[in-house]
């Protein structure tokens, strides 16, 4: 599976580990830009579009082993032997899945507002309804799309996030496959324990990571630590970028 990617060479010539940034559901490689702009000062960065997102190839298959293998092949393509991997939401699950298929390729993990669990809940039906309404109406402009989406989605920030992947009447993610494979996306198969550093950053107001996930999380990532950003939701990196970046820098700058 050929993934669209962007490689950014560090502004300063130092020997820090490369960083791979992986976006979440309905996203693209630009979504973690606020992190990329800071981390790219002293790390080589690889930003990717996951399959069925952005400019990457399409597939009827949308599960975590397959998406993780896509990332391994992309690392190979760019000659990256080992990297710090940072993923948000679905991208965090892809990052975690890497530990079972290519553990030697990962230096450290940063997982933003996601747990290694099957959520057994549909949080995105209103989003799918809004997306499909725009497509069925034949709308071409973002302003018209936003007006219609407000009938389905209350959070303006979510609407604007989605519209980053809308251009000339076309969504840049594969809506039918994301709908058909949704149970795979919110689901999870437990992984063997990965006994290396992992940082879980969660928004204090987000339902995606809570105390009920602690046992499963530590069983799979026994060296995990948690950092809670108060007053932030699921898009914690967009809402509180400075707090998230401080936590990431402390974590990746540590020596084992």
Annotated catalytic sites, by residue? 89, 234
**Concatenated DSSP letters for 10-53?**
-SS---PPPEEEE--TT--TTTTHHHHHHHTTTS-EEEEPPTTB
CB 51 within 8 A of CB 73: no
N-terminal to C-terminal alpha carbon distance within the chain: 34
Strand-pair category, 45-48 with 5-8:
antiparallel
CA angle 240, 243, 246 (to 5 degrees): 145
What six digits make up the tokens of 178?
């994301």
Cα–Cα distance for residue pair 142/122, rounded to 1 Å: 26
Return the H-helix or E-strand segment holding 158: helix 156-163
Cβ-proximal residues to 71 (8 Å cutoff; 6+ apart), any chain: 3, 20, 22, 48, 85, 94, 98
């Amino acid at each position: 599976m050929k993934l669209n990617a962007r490689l950014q060479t560090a502004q300063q010539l130092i020997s820090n580990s490369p960083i791979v940034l992986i976006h979440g559901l309905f996203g693209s490689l630009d979504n973690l830009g606020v992190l990329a702009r800071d981390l790219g000062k002293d790390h080589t960065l690889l930003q990717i579009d996951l399959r069925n997102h952005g400019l990457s190839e399409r597939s009827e298959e949308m599960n975590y082993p397959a998406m993780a293998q896509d990332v391994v092949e992309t690392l190979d393509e760019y000659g990256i032997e080992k990297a710090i991997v940072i993923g948000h939401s679905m991208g965090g699950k892809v990052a975690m899945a890497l530990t079972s298929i290519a553990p030697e390729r990962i230096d450290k993990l940063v997982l933003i507002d996601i747990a290694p669990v099957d959520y057994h809940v549909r949080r995105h039906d209103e989003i799918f309804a809004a997306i499909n309404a725009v497509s069925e109406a034949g709308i071409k402009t973002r302003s018209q799309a936003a007006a219609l989406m407000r009938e389905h989605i209350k959070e303006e920030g979510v609407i604007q996030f989605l519209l980053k992947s809308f251009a000339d009447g076309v969504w840049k993610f594969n809506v039918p496959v994301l709908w058909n494979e949704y149970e795979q996306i919110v689901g999870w198969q437990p992984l063997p324990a990965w006994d290396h550093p992992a940082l879980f950053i969660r928004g204090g107001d987000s339902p995606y990571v809570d105390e009920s996930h602690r046992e499963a999380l530590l069983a799979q990532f026994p060296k995990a630590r948690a950092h809670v950003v108060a007053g932030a939701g699921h898009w914690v990196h967009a809402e509180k970028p400075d707090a998230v970046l401080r936590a990431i820098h402390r974590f990746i700058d540590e020596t084992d």
